[in-house]
Structure 1
Amino acid sequence: MNLNQVTVPSKNVATSIAFYKKLGLHLIVEALPHYARFECLDGDATFSIHEVEELPKGDGVYVYFETKQLDQEVNRLIKEGLEFDQLPTDQRWLWREARLKDPDGNQIILYFAGDNRKNPPWRLER
């Protein structure tokens, strides 16, 4: 089994499209006002947005996008006008992360983990 797509809810898909294009995702399906799909520039995963009447309550969705050039990417996005809740920070789980929210409040984490993503020192044996 392989995870190939994540979909997040949005009250305004067009507004969300602009946000995710700034992040650097490539728009491949635009079915306004209800749906949009992007492809990630690295790998085969896709990411989509679907229109909802009401957003989920509580913490909502967390989406992680990995980039080797985390600090440079965050600086680029700040120049594009995006506001971060957390600038790049080294975490105790050996990832470097920056956090922001999309227009609908979905948590977006830009990070770099390298080999620690799948092989942290505390990884369980098979």
Structure 2
Amino acid sequence: MNLNQVTISSKDLEISVAFYKLLGLQLIVDALPRYARFTCPDGEATFSIHQKINMQSSDNTTVYFEDDNLKDLVFKLKQKGITFTSDIEDKSWLWTEAHLEDPDGNKIILFNAGKNRKNPPWRI
């Protein structure tokens, strides 16, 4: 089994599409104002957004995007005006992460985990 796609909700897809394009995702399906799908610069999975006008804060999601050059990515995104809720930190679970939110409050974690993503020392 392989993960194919993750879909999140948004009140305003035009704003969200612009945000995710700024992060570096490539738009491949444009069915605005109700749906959009992207590919990531690396890998085969896709990421999509569907419109949910009455979205509540409890509907928010956390999405992780991994990048081997996390420091460079965060620097470039800051240069583009992206605001982070936490800067790059080494976590106790052996990942390096930087946190931000999309325009709808969905939590985005940019990270680098290397071999620890699937094989941490405490793996069963």
TM-score, normalised on structure 2?
0.97
Q: How many residues align?
A: 124
For each residue in 1:12-51, what CA deviation from the matched residue of structure 2 results, as whole angstroms up to 9, or x when unmatched? 0010000000110010001110000000111100000000
Partner of 2:104: 104
Helix, strand or coil: the match of 1:81?
Answer: coil
Check if 1:118 corresponds to 2:118: yes
CA distance, structure 2, for counterparts of residue 69 and residue 23 of structure 1? 14
CA distance, structure 1, for counterparts of residue 88 and residue 22 of structure 2? 18
CA distance, structure 2, for counterparts of residue 80 and residue 73 of structure 1? 11
For each residue in 1:39-73, what CA deviation from the matched residue of structure 2 results, as whole angstroms up to 9, or x when unmatched? 01111000000000222433720000000110110
Unmatched segments (≥5 aa) in structure 1: none
Could you tell me the percent identity over the aligned residues?
57
- Misfit runs of 4+, over 6 Å: none
Partner of 1:26: 26
CA distance, structure 2, for counterparts of residue 50 and residue 105 of structure 1? 15
Matching of residues 61-80 of structure 1 within 5 Å: 61-80=61-80
Helix, strand or coil: the match of 2:89?
Answer: strand
- Aligned residues: CA RMSD: 1.0
Give the counterpart letter for 1:79 in structure 2: Q
Unmatched segments (≥5 aa) in structure 2: none
TM-score, normalised on structure 1?
0.95
CA distance, structure 2, for counterparts of residue 56 and residue 5 of structure 1? 22
Partner of 1:55: 55
